[in-house]
Structures are given as structure tokens and as C-alpha cells.
Structure 1
Amino acid sequence: MSDEGGSGENDGNDDTASDERAGRLKEKEERLEKQERELERTERELEEREQELLERREETVELREQLEDKEAEFEEREANIDDRETALDERERELEQRAAELDQRERTLQEYVGDQIADLEGSVRSSIDDSVSAAVKRHAGGGGGRFSRIGGLVLGFVGMALVVGGVVVALSIRHPDIPAILSSDLRNLAAATVLVFSGLAANAAAVAGS
């Protein structure tokens, strides 16, 4: 009897131990499943993060390429600006040199024109003095001339008008306020010379013929 009772008790203990072991295994299995799910979730998060990092890397590479292109564009633009600045500096030097040459030419022309005007003024005064002296001598001597008194006066008036016109044209070269008849100073000087000498010739003819 006692042996059977002991055997039943041992069987009960074995069942209890087996249940406890099964419970622990189940808990461990559940814990492992939970850990596996967490690991899977972590893996998905890592994959998503990795994908995000890859996308960011691609964006960074693309942005870097854009920045490099922009930098190259800026460098090219800066080089163009430097070339343009150099060209403008060269043009400025050329203009300054040309202005200096024009100033020198203007000074030379002014000196030449001044000398010519002085010569014209001297010729006019000398011709007038000679004409007056010759007329006085002729009238004092009582000699007759080729022209009548009226003809001589008209010719003398025309001559004086030509001389005055030539002097005015010559003065217009030195004084901008006086309107010039031609666009070039040399042409105006030539016209003034022709007018003055034509007037002098007319005066001389009037004096000689009176």
C-alpha cells in the first residue's frame, strides 16, 4: 500500500515539474518571439533609415554637383568680367592717348591759325596804308586813273568788304561765338586767305585805276 502511495506521489511531482518546465519553455518561447519581433522591427527601421540615408546621399551628391556647376559658372563669369575690364582699361588708355593727340593737334593748329591771322591782319593794314598813300599821292599830283571816281569807290568798297569778310572768317576759327562758313578750320583759313587777298587786289586795282 505504501509503495503505491509513494508511486502516486512521485507521479504527481513529476507532472508538476513537467508543467513548470513547459511553462518556462513557453515563457521563453514567447520572450524569444517578442525579441524576434523587436529585432524585425529594428531591422525594418534600420532598412528605412538606410534607405533614407541613401536618398540623402544622392541628394547631397546632386547638390554638390549643382554647386560645382554653379561655381564653374561663377568662375567663367568672373573671367569674362576680368576680360571685359581689361578691354575697357585698354580702350580708356587708347581714348586718353587719342585725346592727348587731338589736344596736341589743336594746339598746333591754333598756333598755325594764330600766325596766319596775324599775317593777314598785317597784310590788310599794310595794303590799306599803301592804298591810302597811293591815292593821296595821285590826287596831290592831279593824275587821272582808269576808273571814274564812283567806279573806284565801288571797287574799293567791294575790296574792303572782301577783306572784312576774310578777317571775320579768320576770327571765327579762334572764337567759337562767331559762326564759321565751313566745317574745317583749315578750309575756313583758306577761305579767309582768298577773301582777304581778293579784297586787297580789288583795293589795289581801285587805287591804281583812280
Structure 2
Amino acid sequence: MKFKIILAGLILATYSLTNIANAHLIAFGWKDLGDGTISMYGQHWHSNQTTAYSDNGGVRIGVWDNTLSAASQNTASWQLFQWTNVINDMGGNTTQNDALVTAGILDGYAIDTNYWSNNSSQNDWFSTGPLVLGNGSWGLFTGTGCCVDTMSEAGLFDITGISSVPDGTGPGANIPEPSTMAIFALGLFCLISRKFKK
């Protein structure tokens, strides 16, 4: 009887460890919101979620240092964006994620090659609030703490398909709001008008 209890305990522990090992971020997605901002998405496997939360504090986005390895990137200096929403049962494998891009739900996605398993049941996502990021190659990292949004290591990801943010615009960079642009244009017009009157 003791042996059966020990065996059952070992099986349960192994099952738990297997689930933990499979609970991680497997891909990033992004969507241009059309107003100079985008939302970032983190695809993960950890079954359906009811609230956005993070074992690592969200997603960090920064400039990749080509002179350093992935493990040596200064990710602590990269800008942090919290997960704010959860979307369950969307996309999953490559075919399903490609369909999200074709339908315009995402503008693109990129996989974490170390964790990607091309599994249709791994179809749950976290998303951020609006942030500023243009097309380009960016360092993305959530962290290595267990479990929901764990990554194997920081990665360099190509972001494409964004049209409302200038290419290469860094994470969180300020783009003048339309009202600021209008005031600037009006001031410039007044200055030119005064020159011509003289």
C-alpha cells in the first residue's frame, strides 16, 4: 500500500512538472491600432485564463546589442509593458496564426523557436495596452521565471506590417499628437505670413 501511495505521488509530481515545462510564451504578435500606437500580444500555453497576469512583469522591448549574446543583453534597461488583457482560443499553430494575419486580427507574429511546438491547442494570448513601436528588429523578453509567460531567453524579432508608426521608432517614443502638430503648423503659418507682410 505504501508503495502505491509513493508511486501515485511520483506520477502526480511528474505530471505537474510536465505542465510547468509546457507553460511558457511561444510567440509574439502585434496589431497596428491606426493611431500611431500598436498592441503587442504574447501567445502562451497555460490553458484558458480569466485575467492577464505575468510571472515576469510583462514584456520588455528594446534595442538589440549585436555585440552581445542573447543571455548578455541588458534587458533590464528595455522598456517594460504590462499585459493588460487576455484572449483565449485564438489562433494556435502556424496555419491558424497565419489566418489571424490574413483576417487582419494581427499584423504579424514571430515565434520563440526554442518553445514553439506548432500545436493548435496552444492558442491563448495576453495583450498590452497601446504602445509606440515601428517596424524593425527589436529585442523582446518577458523573463525566465516560471510559468505563464516564461521565455527561453531574450530574442531578436522582426516586426513588420505597421503603417501608422514610422519605421524604427523605438518603444514608447513620443510621436506628436495631432493637436500639437496643428498648433505647430499654425505657428509656422503665422510666422511666414508676418514675413510676407513686411
TM-score scaled by structure 1? 0.23
If each structure's helix is expressed as a fraction of its own residues, which one has the higher value? 1
Q: Rg: which structure is higher?
A: 1
More strand per residue: 1 or 2?
Answer: 2
Which structure has the higher relative contact order (CA within 8 Å, separation 6+)?
Answer: 2
Taking structure 2 as the reference length, the TM-score comes to 0.24
